[in-house]
Each structure stands twice: as structure tokens, then as C-alpha cells.
């Protein structure tokens, strides 16, 4: 007997759509085609609705362990699955930071106990910890090595010497926050004691483009897969477009850089690294997205409380929560004709699975894990705080017209969320690691 049959849904990949039944057993898709037939514990009619692979957000800061007033694996993953994100990859700047084997396993144990979404866990690049990075990311279960080239939330752990060493001695996918510390330092001195007109003036495009250019240089010298996180400027795109298809470099874009700019009246709520950019950069990102030059969407979900954001500019932490807003924002964009739904599936499901080597994720095919979203043609509504599940309870998009969260969200074949609400409080996701060629 099947555990689940989804009937008559319009199943999408990044390049196709077809109407078929999907049968699930033991958390996996076991049949796709006309009339699954046979008994099933649960049958869902998806007639007239879409069925897509669950979204994969490879860039979240759930802050657990260390910051329970902001978020933990329970609340962060509830927000994720409510918004159709069935797999998250958590960043290393927790407390303790995920830069040792012990800290990585400590975080994995927390996620295993509390996460409603499947989870990957980044290993943090740090001076003196290269052997651990090799063990945990090149050979072991970590989803990649995360490197901050400039200080953001948390201390800077990698200087250029360590970065070169990482390129020379490790081979796992490297995810990079590309803002150059030297440039940032120059602007820190320039603005010392003054408040810049916008956060972008304190951390201008120059910091990003210098860092991305250095990454291109290093990738050319020591070829390995580099995923440039949250590309935010036209200048970075120009550098990266020139090597696209030549070097193994891929790109992530964050919703806040597509939907907001440095003139958005958000105050510290819009303080994020890399910063919200001028409108021309924002439009360049949409143009690049339309041409297929941006590979994945990462929310960079960074939950800081409203109290923390109410501090003066210099002390307010940087970061924007957003893991549960990817689906509502992108589906609204589809409705407005800004991009086809297939492109959303490509960027939010298929490409992250391919780039990170999550072989059983990101596609609706026989043998894949049954991480599935069901939803209809969306009716847009005004986004309100009540629909948020992140512990910090705010979003920079309040008042904007967005799509509703998916009708149904399945994680490994289990229904975990319906219309933005958690319906199975006990269901837990599983660790996701890259599958390496034997
Ligand atoms: O704005 C940011 N917030 N950028 C980062 O790089 C880190 C993040 C956080 O962890 O708060
Ligand atoms: Zn970052
Ligand atoms: Zn981040």
C-alpha cells in the first residue's frame, strides 16, 4: 500500500510541466504516471494545482545553538516549511561557531531533534582549522565550507592567507560572503563617528567587486567549486558573467536584494550585509535573473529582534529574516509576469540540489525524496506579521502584495504544513549531505 498518492497535479521541473499522479512510499517517490491505482493511506487531489519539488534554501542563519531569543531549529524550520522550504543549510556563525568537528556535531544533534525541514550544515572556514574543514566537508557530512571575506555578524575568521590555504588544501564546495575586509576597513575609518546616508555607503559595491575579483583569480589558479552568496551589485555580475561557464563558479541571489533598495524606508530593519543597493543594481539583478545568470535563491534568513533593530545604527545587528518569504514573493512575481514558474523551480529547487550534490532532492522523479509542494493559482494579499512563524515576528515586506504560502508541504512524504500552518508537530527532517562520486 502506498503511503501517499497525489492525483492529477500539474508537475513542474525547471523546464517542463505535465499532468500525472505521484505515488510515495517510505518517504520516496515510487511512481509517476497516469492513475497510480492501488490503495493508499492518503489520497490528495491536486487537480488544477501545481506540484513542485520542495524549495532548498542553502543560506539560513537559524542561530541555534546560542541565540534562543532570536530563533532556534524549531521556530526557524517551522517558518521554512510553512513557506515551502523543505531543506535548509545553516551557516556557521552560531555560538559556538561551527568551525570544529565537535561544534558541527553539536549543531547536527540539535537539528536532528528539532528541525521540521531537512537540513544541511555548513562548516566554517577558519585559520588553523583547515584539517577539520577537509575532514568534515571534503570527506564528511558538511554541505560545504563557508567563508566570510569581510567581517559581518561575528568575528572575521579568515584572512587572505587562510583563504589561499583553503583554496590550496580543500576541495568541497566553498560558499563565500564576498565583501573585501580591506575595503570595508577603509570605509569604517572614513565614516568613524558619523552615520552614513545609507548602509550601502558604509559598505559600497567596491567591497563586493574587489572580493569577487579575488575569488575569480583564486578559482582560476586552484579550480574548485565556488558559490558566491548574495550577489547584490551590477559590478559583481559583470565580473562573474565574464567567467560563466569557464570557471566552476555559481551564484546566489537573496530576495531582499531583488525586492528592496537602499532608499526603502526601513531604517535598521533594512540593515543587512551585503547592504541593500541602489535601484540600478536591483534592476540589474532582475535582468540577470531573466537571462539565467543567477543560479540559486538564498534567503540569508538572519533573525534579529525588533528590540535589537531599534538600537542606534552603529549597534543594530545586520540581517533580515526571510526563509518563509521566498515562496510568497516569487509566486507574486510569477503572477506579475516577471518570470515563469519553471524558472522559480529551477532556482529554488533544481539548481541548489545540483550545485550542492543533493542527489535525491530538487526534482519530482521516481527515486527522489518526496519533498513536495502543492498550490493553486495564487490570489495575492497584503502581507501581515500574523502569518510569520519566525520567532522574531517581523519582515521587511509587511504591507506588500504577496502570494499565500503553499496549500500543502510534504517533507520526506509527510504532510508538515498546510496554508502556512504546521499540521504535524512531531515530524522531523533528516540530515542532507552531498553525494560524492565514488
Ligand atoms: O546581514 C547579515 N547578517 N549578513 C551576514 O553576513 C550575516 C548575517 C547574520 O548572521 O546576522
Ligand atoms: Zn553573508
Ligand atoms: Zn548569511
Q: Which tens digit of pLDDT belongs to each residue from 70-123?
A: 999 999 999 999 999 999 999 999 999 999 999 999 999 999 999 999 999 999
- 335-346: burial string, b at 16+ Cβ within 10 Å, e else: beeebebbbbbb
In CATH, what is the architecture of 54-356?
Alpha-Beta Barrel (3.20)
Residues enclosing ligand 1, CB less than 6 A?
61, 93, 152-153, 177, 272-273, 302, 317-319
Is the predicted pLDDT of residue 128 greater than 60, yes or no? yes
Which tens digits make up the pLDDT trace of 370-387? 999 999 999 999 999 999
Going from the Cα of 301 to the center of ligand 1, the distance in angstroms, rounded, reads: 8
Instruction: State which ligand 1 atom lies nearest to the alpha carbon of 61.
Output: 10
The answer to whether residue 396 scores a pLDDT higher than 70 is: yes
Q: Is 60 exceeded by the pLDDT of residue 336? A: yes
Confidence (pLDDT) at 436? 80
Distance CA 403, CA 401 (A): 7
The whole-number pLDDT of residue 153 equals: 86
- Dist. CA 436 → ligand 3 center (Å): 25
In this predicted structure, what is the pLDDT of residue 438? Answer: 52
Q: Which three cell numbers stand for residue 374?
A: 502543492
CA 403 – CA 309 distance, rounded (Å): 27
CA 14–ligand 2 middle distance (angstroms): 26
Q: What is the pLDDT of residue 38?
A: 87
Active site residues: 300
CATH class in words for 4-51+366-422? mainly beta
Residues forming a β-bridge with 148: 177
- Summarised one tens digit per residue, pLDDT across range 275-301 is 999 999 999 999 999 999 999 999 999
Q: How confident is the model at residue 37 (pLDDT cuts 50, 70, 90)?
A: confident
Say whether 427 sits in a helix, a strand or coil. Answer: coil
Whether the predicted model's global pTM rises above the 0.85 cut:
yes
pLDDT above 90 covers a percentage of the chain that reads 98
Average pLDDT, the chain: 97
Q: Give me the pLDDT at residue 17, please.
A: 97
Nearest to 231 by CA among 185, 289, 173: 289
pLDDT at 431 (0 to 100): 98
**pLDDT given at position 174:** 98
Q: What does the alpha-carbon distance between residue 379 and residue 391 come to, in Å, rounded to a whole number?
A: 26
What percent of the chain has pLDDT above 70?
A: 100
Length reported for the chain: 438
Confidence (pLDDT) at 437: 61
- CATH 3.20.20.140 domain locations along the chain: 54-356
Buried b (16+ CB within 10 A) or exposed e, 400-426: bebbbbbbbbbbbbbbbbbebebeeee
CATH 2.30.40.10 intervals, the chain: 4-51+366-422
Amino acid at each position: 500500500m502506498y503511503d501517499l498518492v497525489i492525483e492529477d497535479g500539474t508537475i513542474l521541473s525547471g523546464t517542463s510541466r505535465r499532468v500525472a499522479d505521484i505515488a510515495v512510499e517510505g518517504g520516496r517517490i515510487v511512481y509517476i504516471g497516469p492513475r497510480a491505482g492501488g490503495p493508499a493511506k492518503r489520497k490528495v487531489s491536486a487537480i488544477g494545482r501545481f506540484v513542485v519539488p520542495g524549495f532548498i534554501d542553502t543560506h539560513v542563519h537559524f542561530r541555534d545553538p546560542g541565540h534562543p531569543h532570536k530563533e532556534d531549529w524549531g521556530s526557524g524550520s517551522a517558518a521554512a516549511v510553512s513557506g515551502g522550504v523543505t531543506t535548509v543549510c545553516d551557516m556557521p556563525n552560531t555560538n559556538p561557531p561551527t568551525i570544529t568537528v565537535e561544534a558541527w556535531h553539536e549543531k547536527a544533534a540539535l537539528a536532528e531533534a528539532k528541525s521540521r525541514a531537512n537540513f544541511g550544515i555548513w562548516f566554517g572556514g577558519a585559520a588553523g582549522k583547515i584539517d577539520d574543514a577537509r575532514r568534515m566537508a571534503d570527506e564528511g557530512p558538511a554541505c560545504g565550507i563557508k567563508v566570510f571575506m569581510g567581517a559581518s555578524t561575528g568575528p572575521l575568521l579568515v584572512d587572505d592567507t587562510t583563504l589561499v590555504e583553503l583554496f590550496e588544501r580543500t576541495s568541497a564546495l566553498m560558499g563565500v560572503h564576498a565583501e573585501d575586509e580591506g575595503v570595508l576597513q577603509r570605509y569604517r575609518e572614513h565614516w568613524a563617528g558619523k552615520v552614513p546616508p545609507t548602509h550601502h555607503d558604509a559598505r559600497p559595491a567596491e567591497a563586493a567587486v574587489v572580493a569577487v575579483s579575488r575569488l575569480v583569480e583564486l578559482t582560476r589558479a586552484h579550480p574548485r567549486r565556488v558559490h558566491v552568496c548574495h550577489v547584490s551589485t551590477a559590478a559583481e555580475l559583470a565580473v562573474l558573467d565574464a567567467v560563466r561557464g569557464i570557471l566552476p563558479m555559481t551564484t546566489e541571489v537573496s530576495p531582499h536584494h531583488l525586492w528592496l533598495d537602499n532608499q526603502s524606508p526601513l531604517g535598521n530593519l533594512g540593515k543587512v550585509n551585503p547592504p541593500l543597493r541602489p535601484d540600478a543594481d536591483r534592476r540589474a539583478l532582475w535582468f540577470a535573473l531573466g537571462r539565467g545568470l543567477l543560479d540559486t535563491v538564498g534567503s540569508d534568513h538572519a533573525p534579529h529582534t525588533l528590540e535589537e533593530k531599534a538600537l542606534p545604527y552603529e549597534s543594530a545587528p545586520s540581517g533580515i529574516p526571510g526563509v518563509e518569504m521566498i515562496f510568497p514573493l516569487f509566486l507574486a512575481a510569477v503572477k506579475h509576469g516577471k518570470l515563469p514558474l519553471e524558472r522559480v523551480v529551477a532556482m529554488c529547487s533544481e539548481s541548489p540540489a545540483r550545485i550542492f550534490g543533493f542527489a535525491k532532492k530538487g526534482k519530482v522523479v521516481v527515486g527522489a525524496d518526496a519533498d513536495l509542494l502543492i498550490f493553486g493559482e495564487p490570489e495575492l494579499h497584503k502581507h501581515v506579521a500574523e502569518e510569520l512563524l519566525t520567532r522574531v515576528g517581523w519582515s521587511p515586506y509587511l504591507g506588500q502584495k504577496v502570494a499565500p504560502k503553499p496549500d500543502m508541504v510534504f517533507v520526506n512524504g509527510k504532510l508538515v504544513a498546510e496554508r502556512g500552518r504546521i499540521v504535524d508537530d512531531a515530524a522531523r527532517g533528516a540530515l542532507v549531505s552531498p553525494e560524492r562520486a565514488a
